[in-house]
Chains A and B, each alone.
Chain A
Amino acid sequence: MTQQAFETQNRERWVMIDQLTDRLRKKRTAAGAAEMPSLYRQLCADIALAQHRMYGARLCGELNERLIRCRQVLANPDDGGGRGFTRLVLRDFPRAVRREWRLFWLASLLFYGPFLLMILASYLEPRWIFSVIGPEEMRMLDGMYGEHDATDFMRDEFGSDFGMFGHYVMNNTSIGLRMAGAGLLAMVGSLVAIGYQGVVLGAMFGYVHYAGNPAALYTFAASHGPFELTGLIICGMAGMKLGQAVLKPGQLSRGAALAEAGRRSLPLIYGGALLIIFAAFIEGFWSAGPASPSTKIAVGVAIAILLALYLCLCGGKEEREA
């Protein structure tokens, strides 16, 4: 069969496929959607024939483009939506944390190590504090946790809770996401970021112990602290997972190892970001609220226990992957 005859014989069907593809692109349930799979298979047969018979670059290229367009509407990569979210929260995220438990403890150590060391150092020698935080931060800390009890700092105006919530979401979640992405540089980005966060937070705690009212700080931080810090550590750990693939790809090529690590760290990134956003919610609406200090501490402890139980138990055992 000549190329000409092949084209005239099938042209009508191809035009139909194009029109159907366009309709389906706009609306997944457009009329005729049920015919798409069989049309797609016929198109596959056409392209195989055209390639085998050497029908030239123009026709093969045209069919190639058509086939790819078809495939884009036919394949359904949908992994979002409500069901995906529930599955992430109830299963994939806690499982992913447990699967990478070594990295979790390593990341925790990298954070809490410098954090505690910094508190200790600033207790022994207050000058350590000033090597990390400047006058700007000190003024802020004085305002929030100074000698006068002022948990309602900046909260006197109407709507301040919502303002702080937005601010925390933007700042903290961005830090977490950057930590995850920066891990791609052979882990260095994540390691530095985790350690740095530990040092800065340690210095702030040290300063409040030195110059302020630690009780105010602990009642404020107790409720959202567990979520926020765990979220940050998990984001950092996702970054370390990516960096690990660059440093130690094992049996795979580096590219394949990276792709595999990407797949594995995605639930960690989602989950870590969700924890941080949830922490921002608590921090914005509850932590500085009117509840008594003992209530806040109690809530904080309860939250920490619940979070630990969630990460340890939720989602059950993993089926073994091939």
Chain B
Amino acid sequence: MSQSAIQPLDTMQRIELAEGVEVELHPAGPMVRAVAYMIDVLWMILIGIALGLLYQLMVSIVGVRIGSGAMSLIGFAFYWGYQVFFEAGHRAATPGKRSMGLRVVAETGGPASLGSIMLRNLARVADILPYVFIPLGSGGSLPLPTYFTGLLVCLFTRRFQRLGDIVARTLVVYANPMAQTLKKTPPPLPGTVPHPPPVTLTREERSAVVRFQERSALWNPARREELAGHAAGLTKTHPAESVSQLSGMAVWLRES
């Protein structure tokens, strides 16, 4: 198998650091980001209501003029600063992103600078376009952002970047990609006999075999057999036995 032919069907990004090692980033897709955004919208509505109450309180204490001036300033800071404040913090995520396990990083995998975070959130102005206008009863209408531009750009970039991410060189990644998969190597399935593979394997092939064994506990037996069936050329048996054959090779590879 020629190596150039294998294009991993994967969103994982390998990034080489100045230290000479590669790290992996796992960019988050538009679906999970949309959910995070909806959570943020809910938070913003809640905070908006709280600010409304605060306004009433201020007006009753310091009067309409100063109250409305202060509220304009607070509203301005809140409108443009909510996302920036949280993304520039040490968690690098708005409450919505945090609850979906996401964070904002620079394209290099390092933390994003304050400037980048400003830019990516400023560009939201363009990303949320176009608006649809929901007609209200009293002749007015409610402008509702569709985020269509952002979605479209997201789907056409390899790393799910919306316009703001491209301009600011940032990515939204899963903070703990391992949390969803596995924290411990599962014990070998019963009846596994460690044995060397019948032919010399390339690095990628060895890695595939080892990963198969590591993840096999996450699948049901039928799925395990189906996947092991793809390696029939290596195991030379029918799928049911392929599983234990492959596991045996994996254990041998890992321990040698």
B85 smallest CB distance to A (angstroms): 12
| Residues in A whose Cβ lies below 8 Å from that of B65 | 157-160, 162-163
User: How many angstroms from the CA of A65 to the CA of B256 in the assembled complex?
Assistant: 26
Residues in B lying within 8 Å of A, measured CB to CB: 17, 19-25, 62-73, 75-76, 79-80, 90, 92, 105-106, 109-116, 118-119, 122-126, 129, 149, 157, 161, 163, 166-169, 176-178, 181-185, 203, 206-207, 210-211, 214-215, 253-256
User: How many angstroms from the CA of A181 to the CA of B114 in the assembled complex?
Assistant: 17
A192 smallest CB distance to B (angstroms): 12
Chain A positions 179-198 with a Cβ under 8 Å from a chain B Cβ: 180-185, 189
Q: Are B181 and A182 in contact (CB under 8 A)?
A: no
Please name the residue on chain A nearest to B75 by beta carbon. Answer: A170
Q: Are A57 and B113 in contact (CB under 8 A)?
A: no
Q: Quick one: which of B126, B169, B203 contacts A184, CB cutoff 8 A? A: B126
Q: Is A61 in contact with chain B by the CB < 8 A criterion?
A: yes
A223 smallest CB distance to B (angstroms): 19
Q: Is A275 in contact with chain B by the CB < 8 A criterion?
A: no
Please name the residue on chain A nearest to B122 by beta carbon. Answer: A181
Of the listed residues A54, A78, A164, A167, the one surrounded by the most CB atoms of chain B closer than 10 A to its CB is: A54
Q: Is A16 in contact with chain B by the CB < 8 A criterion?
A: no
Q: Is A62 in contact with chain B by the CB < 8 A criterion?
A: yes
Stretch at the interface among A41-49, A103-111, A117-125, A132-140: A41-49
| Residues in B whose Cβ lies below 8 Å from that of A163 | 64-69, 72
Given contacts A163-B64, A184-B167, contact A75 B110 (CB under 8 A): yes
| Residues in A whose Cβ lies below 8 Å from that of B71 | 166
Q: Is A58 in contact with chain B by the CB < 8 A criterion?
A: yes
Q: Are A182 and B178 in contact (CB under 8 A)?
A: no
B87 smallest CB distance to A (angstroms): 12
User: How many angstroms from the CA of A116 to the CA of B211 in the assembled complex?
Assistant: 70
20 A-B residue pairs with CB within 8 Å: A2-B255, A40-B19, A44-B17, A48-B21, A56-B185, A57-B182, A57-B214, A62-B183, A68-B109, A163-B68, A177-B122, A178-B125, A180-B122, A181-B123, A184-B123, A185-B129, A242-B167, A258-B163, A259-B168, A266-B115
| Residues in A whose Cβ lies below 8 Å from that of B184 | 58
B8 smallest CB distance to A (angstroms): 13
Given contacts A56-B211, A71-B109, A80-B114, contact A166 B181 (CB under 8 A): no
Number of A-B pairs, beta carbon distance below 8 Å: 180
Q: Are A41 and B126 in contact (CB under 8 A)?
A: no
User: How many angstroms from the CA of A67 to the CA of B19 in the assembled complex?
Assistant: 11
A25-B90, A261-B167, A262-B169 known, 4 other contacts, Cβ within 8 Å? A44-B20, A72-B111, A80-B114, A181-B125
Q: Quick one: which of A61, A68, A269 contacts B181, CB cutoff 8 A? A: A61
Please name the residue on chain B nearest to A62 by beta carbon. Answer: B178
Chain A positions 59-80 with a Cβ under 8 Å from a chain B Cβ: 61-62, 64-65, 67-68, 71-72, 75, 77-80
Given contacts A56-B214, A58-B183, A181-B122, contact A65 B178 (CB under 8 A): yes
Residues in A lying within 8 Å of B, measured CB to CB: 2-4, 25-26, 40-41, 44, 47-48, 51, 54-58, 61-62, 64-65, 67-68, 71-72, 75, 77-80, 157-160, 162-167, 169-170, 173-174, 177-178, 180-185, 189, 242, 255, 258-259, 261-263, 266, 269-270
| Residues in A whose Cβ lies below 8 Å from that of B211 | 56-57
Q: Quick one: which of B23, B69, B129 contacts A167, CB cutoff 8 A? A: B69
Q: Are A182 and B110 in contact (CB under 8 A)?
A: no
Q: Are B167 and A262 in contact (CB under 8 A)?
A: yes
B255 smallest CB distance to A (angstroms): 5
B144 smallest CB distance to A (angstroms): 17
| Residues in A whose Cβ lies below 8 Å from that of B255 | 2-4
User: How many angstroms from the CA of A72 to the CA of B175 in the assembled complex?
Assistant: 11
Please name the residue on chain B nearest to A45 by beta carbon. Answer: B21
Q: Are B73 and A169 in contact (CB under 8 A)?
A: yes
| Residues in B whose Cβ lies below 8 Å from that of A269 | 118-119, 122
Of the listed residues B68, B72, B112, the one surrounded by the most CB atoms of chain A closer than 10 A to its CB is: B72
Q: Are B119 and A262 in contact (CB under 8 A)?
A: yes
Given contacts A54-B253, A58-B185, A266-B115, contact A166 B73 (CB under 8 A): yes
Q: Are B157 and A165 in contact (CB under 8 A)?
A: no
Q: Quick one: which of A64, A79, A159, A180 contacts B115, CB cutoff 8 A? A: A79
